[in-house]
Each structure stands twice: as structure tokens, then as C-alpha cells.
Chain A
Amino acid sequence: MHRFANPARFLKIARPLTGWLFWSGLSLLLAGCICGLFVTPADYLQGQTVRILYIHVPAAWLGMAGWTGIAVSALMQLVWRHPLAAVAGRAIAAPGALFTAICLATGSIWGRPTWGTWWEWDGRMTSMLVLLFLYLGYIALANASARQGAGQGGVSNVTAIFGLVGAINIPIINRSVVWWNSLHQGPSITLRGSSIDMALLWPLGLTLLGFSLWFGAIVLMRMRAILAQNKVEARMQRLARG
């Protein structure tokens, strides 16, 4: 991994990769959304309401995958002192928070017609809300430490430790519907198979992959922006010193 510690080498790969991820992700997620809206049949119980699944599930997955990415980059920053890890953690935070918020919003909109409530404090919903607050805390901490001039545009070690500690919430979110009685139903897709019928399942594969590629493109864009910002700041400092 330290081969990519050199930002120039990283940028050489990241620059073309951004476009590929962005456009392939966008076309896959649009195809998935269109198929999910117009091609698949309605659910036997929920009717048309079930179609929000094609946004809700990828958003939940990316909210959790985002924090897992923050935790992995925090580990790489703290243990191996990888210079890009700190930048990656910072880059993941905002889109991760956004997708967590999308998951909560679509879940709330979905809950009203099916369960009969916008919000209930059950294990799944509460732990997902905690994830959103963790993201906001991480972003605030990252911004606060950057202003004090820590690291090259990345997050401080304190922020990385916060990212690592917050990872404990990820298995809790995943297991919340198994450990505790909850209003949210149990997992549909497990290692033993899927209880979503194939007729309804396949567009979910498209949107899951599409949103994930798109997420990757957003993270790469933000990493490149942070690295460019570093360059500007370094140059300004050189000029100021004259």
C-alpha cells in the first residue's frame, strides 16, 4: 500500500478511475432505479411501496460501508502512518453521512404506509441514528483539528481514534434486528440466501453496485480535492515566506 503514499502516483491512477467509476456507477444506478420503478412487479403485501427498497438498502449499505472504510483508514493511519489514509478518512465522512441520512429519510417515508409510523425507537432505527451522529461528530472533529494545522489535509490522530471506536456501532446495527425485538423486520439477504423473490431482487443488485461505484467516485474526487488544497496551501506558505 505504501506504493501509493506518493500522491503523484496515487493521482495518476485516481484521475482516470474517477471518471470510470462515476459514469459506470451512474448508469447502473439509473438502470436499477428505472427497472425497480417500472419493470418489477408490486409486492404481494406492500404493493407499490416496496419500490423504495431500491434506494433504502444501498443507502444503508453505504452508510455502514463508509464507516467501515473510516475505521480501516484510521487503523492504517495510526499503525502504518500511511499519509493517504488520513485523507481517505476525511473524504469518506461526508458522503457516508449523506447516505446514512438518505437511509433514515427513506426508511421513515417507507415506515408510514407499511408500519403506520414515521419513527419508532427500536434497535435498528436508533442504532442507525447513532451512526449519523457519529458521522457528524467525526466531521466536526476532523474540521476542528484541520484548522489547527494537523497533518497534510487529513484527519488528526484523535479523529482517527474516534473513527476506530465508532466502528463498534457497525456490528450492533447489523445484529440489532436479531438481538432485540424490533419493529424493523429481520435480515432478508443472508448467507443462506434471499427471502426477496428473484423477480423483485435483481434491480437491487444494479442499484447496490451502481451506488457503490458512485460512492467510490465521490471519495476519489474528494481525496483529489484535498490533495490539491494541500498543494495550494504549501505554495501559499512558500510565497508568504518569500
Chain B
Amino acid sequence: MKAKHQRLILALVALVALVGAGLLAASALRDEAAYFYAPGDVKAKGVEPGKAIRLGGMVVKGSLKRASDGVTMTFDVTDGKASVPATFSGIAPDLFKEGSGVVAEGSFDDQGTFIATNLLAKHDERYMPRELEGMSYNETTRELQVER
């Protein structure tokens, strides 16, 4: 066996071991490295009140209500599996609206309402001109369709 081939095999074995180690680490981190809890995770695992977490999901359409003081708002966050009520007082980012993604930082109170201290807007991977806004997006075919 030529020295060149020995080096090639050594490099490939090292590379396979490295990728394996990386994937193992990544899968072990799968839960730990999550940036936020989804409402489904909260319902399934339970998060004790007062623990500082991030809650991420979609703002349920029709749930966003603003209090008379003008800065407090309540809304429901859902991930399709579960839905939790949340409240926030302060300035929300421009992209924060019903039917759109949100990541809220804060903690749950004893009644199970999420008290957010900061709101971040999360948008999806779609970009399109304003004229197409009324069209709906098909998740499986990744195509835009005219809403009927």
C-alpha cells in the first residue's frame, strides 16, 4: 500500500469519526439548544411558574386585544398542538401581529398565563411583493395560490 493511500484512508476514517461525533453532539443538544419552547412542549413537559424561558409560536388570529392603557396587550400563542395565553406591556416590534410568528421572553404565572417581558417577531421564509399578499401559500407544494 502506498503512503498516499494510507494517508487517504486515515483522513477518511478521521473524517467519519468526526462527523459521527458532531452528529451525536448535535442530536444530544437537540432539546438543550432549542431557542424557545413551543406551547406543545410547555403542555407536554410542564414549565414551573417563574422560570425564565422563551415561548415561541404563532399569534392566534382574533386573540390579540389591547388594554385601555395602550401599552398592555393579551394574545394566545399556538404551535398547532396547544395554545397558551400571554400578556405583554411595552413596545412590540412592527412585524408582531395576528397570524404571525412571535418569540416572547418571560415566565409563566401561577394561573398559566405567560408574562412576557420582551417580544421578538419571527417571520417565515417567504418573501414576495405586496401585490401577492392576498394569496395563500401551500406548504407542501411551496406554491402561491389565489385565495378563493
- Asked if residues A168 and B22 are in contact (CB atoms below 8 Å), the reply is yes
- Give the segment of B3-11, B42-50, B61-69 that binds chain A: B3-11
Residues of A within 8 A of B129 (CB): 40-44, 197, 199-200
- Asked if residues A197 and B127 are in contact (CB atoms below 8 Å), the reply is yes
User: In the bound complex, what is the Cα–Cα distance between A207 and B144 (angstroms)?
Assistant: 25
Residues of B within 8 A of A11 (CB): none
Question: Are A193 and B132 CB-contacts (below 8 A) given A180-B34, A183-B35, A188-B127?
Answer: no
Query: Is A46 an interface residue when CB atoms closer than 8 A count as contact?
Result: yes
With beta carbons under 8 angstroms apart, the residue of A44, A50, A122 that contacts B35 is: A122
In the complex, how many angstroms separate the beta carbon of A175 from the nearest chain B beta carbon? 8
Query: Is A34 an interface residue when CB atoms closer than 8 A count as contact?
Result: no
Question: Are A78 and B11 CB-contacts (below 8 A) given A168-B22, A199-B128?
Answer: yes
Query: Is B95 an interface residue when CB atoms closer than 8 A count as contact?
Result: yes
The number of chain B residues with a CB under 8 A from chain A is 47
With beta carbons under 8 angstroms apart, the residue of A46, A75, A115 that contacts B11 is: A75
Residues of A within 8 A of B56 (CB): 181
* Residue interface mask B98-133, A partner, CB < 8 A = 1: 001001000000000000001111111111111111
* Residue interface mask B19-33, A partner, CB < 8 A = 1: 101100010011001
Query: Is B93 an interface residue when CB atoms closer than 8 A count as contact?
Result: yes
**Residue with the greatest number of chain B CB neighbours at <10 A, chosen from A80, A182, A194:** A182
Binding site for A on B (CB under 8 A): 4, 7-8, 11, 14-15, 18-19, 21-22, 26, 29-30, 33-38, 56, 92-96, 100, 103, 118-133, 137, 142-144
**What are 29 of the A-B contact pairs (CB < 8 Å)?**
A41-B131, A42-B130, A43-B128, A43-B129, A44-B132, A45-B123, A113-B93, A113-B94, A114-B93, A114-B121, A115-B95, A115-B120, A115-B123, A117-B120, A123-B35, A165-B18, A168-B18, A171-B22, A180-B33, A181-B37, A183-B120, A188-B127, A195-B127, A196-B125, A196-B128, A197-B126, A197-B129, A197-B144, A200-B129
Q: Which 10 A-B pairs have the closest CB atoms?
A: A116-B93, A197-B128, A41-B129, A122-B35, A168-B22, A44-B133, A188-B125, A196-B127, A181-B34, A185-B125
